[in-house]
Amino acid sequence: MPARDRPVALILLLLAAYTIAAARDMSYMQGRTPGPGFAPFWIGVGLAVASLAILIRRPTGPARAADSPASPATGSTSTLIATTAVTIMAVALAERLGMITALVFLLGGLVRIFGGSWRSAALTAVILPLGLYVLFGRWLQVPLPRGPWGF
């Protein structure tokens, strides 16, 4: 097992233990039919078996992303952290400052993080929120959160 598989497998094992414990508090059988704890119990058992299988197997080489073609990792962790932080901040601010303002912040921030120029950031941060407002706010009649300045 590649060493980097271990932490996730351990977390999964903990989740399995929690699931089995929680399922025991629900009813496993109600009369002769399965109760609400039936499915969670077996899901927990399955998770425990699968995560144990990952934990105890012999090393087989580095893990590979199964879903995507292999690609070189050239982006930095700081870019990833900055992307996550800006997105979380924008979502947290959406209800206070309004969705459009949050989108301006989100788009401007992300374009800069991904290496775009100030001009691209400004243009994207103005045009796209406007387009999304027309699509969702006007056309689909979604009541997007408004900020203190009315939009």
Partner 1 sequence: MDALRLLIDGFGVAFQPLNLLAVVTGVMVGQIIGVLPGIGPASTIAILLPVTFSLNPTAAMIMFVGVYYGAQYGGTITSVLLSMPGESSSIMTTLDGYQMALQGRAGPALGIAAFGSFIAGTLGVVALMFMAPSLATVALAFGPPEYATLLVLSFSLVVYLTGRDRAKGAVSTLLGLWLAVVGVDLISGLPRFTFGQLKLLSGIPFVPVAIGLFGLAEVLASVREGRAGDLVRADLSLRGVLPTAADWLASRWAILRGGLIGFFVGILPGAGATAASMIAYAAEKRFARQPERFGRGAIEGVAAPESANNAAAVGAMVPLLTIGVPGSATTAIMLGGLLVFGLRPGPLLFQQQPQFVWGVIASMYVSNLVLVALNVAAIPAFVALLRVPRAVLLPSIVALAVVGVYSLENSVFEVWLALAAAAIGYVMNRQGYPAAPLVLALVLGKTLEESVRQSLLLSHGSLAIFVTRPLAAAFLVATAALVASSMLRRRT
The answer to whether the beta carbons of residues 59 and 2 sit under 8 Å apart is: yes
CA–CA gap between residue 33 and residue 53 (Å, rounded): 31
CA–CA gap between residue 4 and residue 54 (Å, rounded): 11
Q: Which is nearer to partner 1, 54 or 150 (CB)?
A: 54
Q: Amino acid identity of 80?
A: L
CB of 103 vs partner 1, minimal distance in Å: 5
CB of 137 vs partner 1, minimal distance in Å: 9
Q: Which is nearer to partner 1, 65 or 150 (CB)?
A: 65
Q: Which is nearer to partner 1, 33 or 150 (CB)?
A: 33
CB of 59 vs partner 1, minimal distance in Å: 13
Angle, CA 145 vertex, CA 140 and CA 147 arms, to 5° = 135
